[in-house]
Amino acid sequence: MNLPFLKKKKNTEKIFDTPSMQAKDIIAPSSIVLSPDFLKLGKRFVKSFFIFSYPRYLTAAWFSTVINLDVPMDISIFVHPIETGMILKQLRKSVTEVQAEIMEKQEKGLIRDPALEIAFNDLEGLRDRLQTAQERMFKLGLYLTVYAENQKELKDIEITLRSILESRLIYIKPALYQQKQGFNSTAPYGLDQIQAHTTMNTGPLSSIFPFVSFDLSSNEGILYGVNRHNNSLILFDRFSLENSNSVVFGKAGSGKSYAIKLEILRCLMLGIDVMVIDPENEYKFLSDTVGGSFFNISLASPNHINPFDLPAPREDEKPEDVLRSNVINLVGLLRIMLGGLTPEEDAIIDRALTETYASKDITPKTDHNYWKENIPLMEDFETVLEGMEGAESLVRRVRKFTKGSYAQFFNQRTNISLDKPFTVFGIRDMEDELRPIAMFIIMRYIWNKVRSVLKKRILVIDEAWWLMKTEDGGSFLYGMAKRARKYWLGVTTVTQDLNDFMKSSYGQPIITNSSLQLLMKQSSATIDVVQKTFNLTSQEKYLLLESEVGEGIFFAGQKHVAIKVVASYTEDQFITTAPEEVLKIKKAKKKIK
C-alpha cells in the first residue's frame, strides 16, 4: 500500500533531528583559517616547515637543540627505505660521470678540482658500504610545526630555528601554500603529505635520533626520573659532579619524600651507604624493609649519643687539629643548648672544654687509640665549670642536661653504630625545643664517623629548616656541605618552605654548594622566592605551580629539565608514603604471617 503522507512525516522529523555529539566535535578548534604561510586554529597561529638541505657531515644529536627549545612544537620524521640495487645503479652512473670529468680536466692540463675528488671518494666509499651491506639508503622527510599566540611570536620562532639550524649548514623552508599538508604531516596520522625528501644513508640518518640528553644523562649512576620534555631518561651519578650535594624543595604532598626514598633505594643497590635524619619517622618502614638500623632519638629512648665523642685522626690529620675542630663545634652546640652565650661565657666554655678533655688525659700528645676509651661526659664538663671563676650561670644551665630531665639523653655514652648500609635517626618523639639540638648532635656524630673512614655515603637531612633556625646549626650544616666532597659524602638537604630556609644567612650558600637541585610543586606564597633563587623563567614558574605529584624541575649544574619521578611496582611498595597504601601493605604482611 502506498502511503505518501507517512514518508513526508518521516522526512520532516529527520530535518529537525539533533545530530549526536562526537569526540571530534569536542576537540576541534572553533575555527580554522588557511593562509599561504600559516594556519590559524581558533586563536593560535600555526606554521609548518620542512628541512631540505643537509651538510656533508652531521654530528650526533644535532637535532636535540631544536627538540629542547622552550617552544610548543610537533615534529615528524618520515624514513622511506630505498632498494639497494637501484641506488647502486645510480651510484655507478654518478661515479662514471665524475671520474670522466676528472680525467677530462687532467687531459686538458687544468688544475685539479678538490670538490670533484671529494665527491668521487664519497661515492666510492658509499658504494663499498652498500655492497657489503654495512649501510642502506633512505629517503628522509623531516617536518616541524610550531605554535604561537600571534604572528610576531611566530616570526621570532622561525628566526630562532633558522639561526640554530643554519649554524650547522642545515636549511629550513616554510611549507608555502602547503600549510594544511604540513599540519597533517606532523599530526599523529602517519601521513607524509609534503613529500619533501632528502636521500641519506644509515650513518647520518642515525644522528637525527631525537631522544638524546647528554646534559642530564651519564653512563653510570641511578635513574632519577624521566625528562618530561622529550621522554629521555635522567640518569646521573651525583658523585661524578664537582660536589655530590643536593637540595630538595617542595610543598607538603608534592612527592619529595617519595623521590628521596627512591634515590636512597637505588643508591643502596649500588653499595652506597645512606644515613637519614628523619623528623617524622617516615623512613622507618623503608629501613625495616631493607634491613637497616632505625634509632629512635628522644629523652626516653635507650639510644644515646655522647656529644663529646671524638673522631679517630686520619693518617693525613694532626691530633691537635682534630681536637681543636671538635672543641669549636662543641662551642656551637653548647651555644644552642644554653640559649646563647655572651663573649665572656663563650671564652669560658672554650677553655672549659679543653680542660674537660685534658682531665681525661686526652691531649694532642696522647695516643688517639686511648681517646676512645676515655671520652668525657656532660657531667665531667660540669665538674670543670664548677671550678672556674665566673661560670656560675653556666653551671646552673648545664645542670639541666646532667641532673635534670634532659640528662637521660645528653649525659650518656654512645651506644649506637653505623655498621649497616642504611641508618635512620628518628627524632619525631623529641620535644620541639630540643629538635635543633638533637639534629646537631646526630650530625656531629655522623660527621665524626665520615671523617674517620673514607667510604661513599649520602646523608639526608629532612626538614632541615629545624637546624637552620639557629645560626650555629646553619653554620655547621654549611660547613659540612662545603667539606663533604673531601670525605666522599653527599649531603641532601630537604625542606618544605624555601622562605624559612632562606631566612638563614647560610641558606643561599648551601644551595650554591649543591650540584643537584630538585624543585617539586610549590605554593603560590613562595613561588616568587623560588623563581628569584633559581633564576627560573615564567613558564618554569607556572610549571612548578601546576605540577602533579612527583613532577618538578631537576637541576644538574647549570642545566635543568622538567622531571617526572617514576618507580617500579616493587619499588613503590617499599617507598610509598600514602597512608592508605602503607596500611594495605601492612595488612597484606599480616595475612602472609
Q: Is the pLDDT of residue 344 over 50?
A: yes
pLDDT score recorded for residue 460:
94
The distance between the two most distant Cα atoms of the chain, rounded to a whole number of Å, is 127
Looking at residue 534, what is its pLDDT? 87
Which residues, 6+ apart, have CB-to-CB distance to 156 below 8 Å?
A: 148
As a whole number of angstroms, the distance between CA 137 and CA 87 comes to 8
Question: Quick one: average pLDDT of 67-87?
Answer: 84
Q: Which of 161, 183, 206 is the last residue of a domain?
A: 206
- Given 390, 409, 428, which residue is the final one in a domain? 409
**Residue 65's pLDDT is what?**
79
Q: Are residues 201 and 75 in the same domain?
A: yes
Residue 111 identity (one-letter amino acid): I
- Sequence-separated (6 or more) residues with CB below 8 Å from residue 406: 299, 400, 434
Amino acid identity, residue 324?
R
What local confidence, expressed as pLDDT, does residue 476 receive?
86
The H or E element containing residue 45 is: strand 44-53
Flag whether 351 is in a domain.
yes
Instruction: Evaluate whether residue 363 is within a structural domain.
Output: yes
Q: Is residue 149 part of a domain?
A: yes
| Residue 333 covered by a domain | yes
Quick one: cell of 191? 601521513
What is the phi/psi pair of residue 30, to 5°? -65, -30
User: 333 and 194 in one domain?
Assistant: no
Distance (Å, whole) CA 510 – CA 196: 53
Say whether both 195 and 329 belong to one domain: no
Query: Taking 90 as the threshold, does the pLDDT of residue 338 lie above it?
Result: no
- The answer to whether position 161 is within a domain reads yes
Three cell numbers written together for 210: 631525537
**pTM greater than 0.85 (yes/no):** no
| Average pLDDT, integer, range 486-490 | 90
CA distance 155 to 148: 9
- Chain mean pLDDT for the chain: 84
CA distance 70 to 79: 26
* Residue 247 pLDDT class (50, 70, 90 cuts): very high
Distance, in Å, from the CA atom of 193 to the CA atom of 206, rounded to the nearest integer, reads 23
Asked if residues 459 and 305 have their Cβ atoms less than 8 Å apart, the reply is no
Tracing cell 639557629 back to the chain, one arrives at 470
Alpha helices by DSSP H, 453-522: 465-468, 471-483, 498-502, 507-512
The three cell numbers of residue 104 are: 677530462
Cell of 489: 659524602
Is 50 within the bounds of a domain? yes
Q: Which of 31, 49, 66, 28 is nearest to 145 (CA)?
A: 49
What are φ and ψ of residue 244, in 5° steps? -105, 25
% of the chain at pLDDT higher than 90: 21
pLDDT in tens, 420-478: 999 999 999 888 888 888 888 998 899 888 888 888 999 999 988 888 888 888 888 88
**pLDDT beyond 90 at 491:** yes
Could you tell me if residue 419 is inside a domain? no
Please report which helix (H) or strand (E) contains residue 546, including its range.
helix 538-546
* Pairwise pLDDT comparison (104 vs 261), residue with the higher score: 261
Q: Which residues pair with 41 in a beta bridge?
A: 32, 44
Strands 293-296 vs 422-426: parallel, antiparallel or unpaired: parallel
pLDDT of the residue at 578: 65
pLDDT of residue 458: 94
With bands split at pLDDT 50, 70 and 90, how would you rate the model's confidence at 319? confident
Structural domain contains residue 138? yes
Q: What is the 3-state secondary structure (H, E, C) of 253-296?
A: CCCHHHHHHHHHHHHHHCCCEEEEEECCCCCHHHHHHHCCEEEE
Q: 154 pLDDT band (50/70/90 cuts)?
A: very high
DSSP H stretches of helix in 343-497: 343-359, 368-371, 378-386, 392-402, 407-410, 435-452, 465-468, 471-483
CATH number for the domain that contains residue 323:
1.10.8
How would DSSP label each residue in 173-222? EE-TT-HHHHHHHHSTT----S---EEEEHHHHHTT-----GGG--SSSE
Residues whose CB falls within 8 Å of the CB of residue 70, separated by 6 or more in sequence, listed in order = 537, 539
DSSP 320-342: HHHHHHHHHHHHHHHHHHTT---
Are 198 and 170 within 8 A, CB to CB?
no
159 and 32 within one domain: yes
Mark which of 354, 378, 409 sits at the end of a domain. Answer: 409
pLDDT of 230 higher than 80: no
How many residues are given for the chain? Answer: 593
- Count CA within 13 A, CB hemisphere, residue 72: 10
Which residues touch 186 (CB under 8 Å, ≥6 apart)?
A: 48, 74, 75, 76, 143, 144, 145
Closest Cα to residue 94, out of 72, 116, 109? 116
The answer, yes or no, to whether residue 214 has pLDDT greater than 50, is no
| Domain of 374, in residue numbers | 318-409
Whether the per-residue pLDDT at 16 is higher than 70: the answer is: no
How far, in Å, are 313, 441, 490 from residue 326 at the CA level? Answer: 11, 12, 21
Q: Is 115 a residue whose pLDDT tops 80?
A: no
The pLDDT of residue 555: 87
Same domain, yes or no, for 330 and 189?
A: no
Q: Specify the number of domains making up the chain.
A: 2
d(Cα 70, Cα 539) in Å, to the nearest integer? 9
* Residue 412 vs residues 277, 328, 379, 443: alpha-carbon distances, Å: 20, 21, 9, 17
- State the Cα–Cα distance between residues 546 and 548, nearest whole angstrom: 7
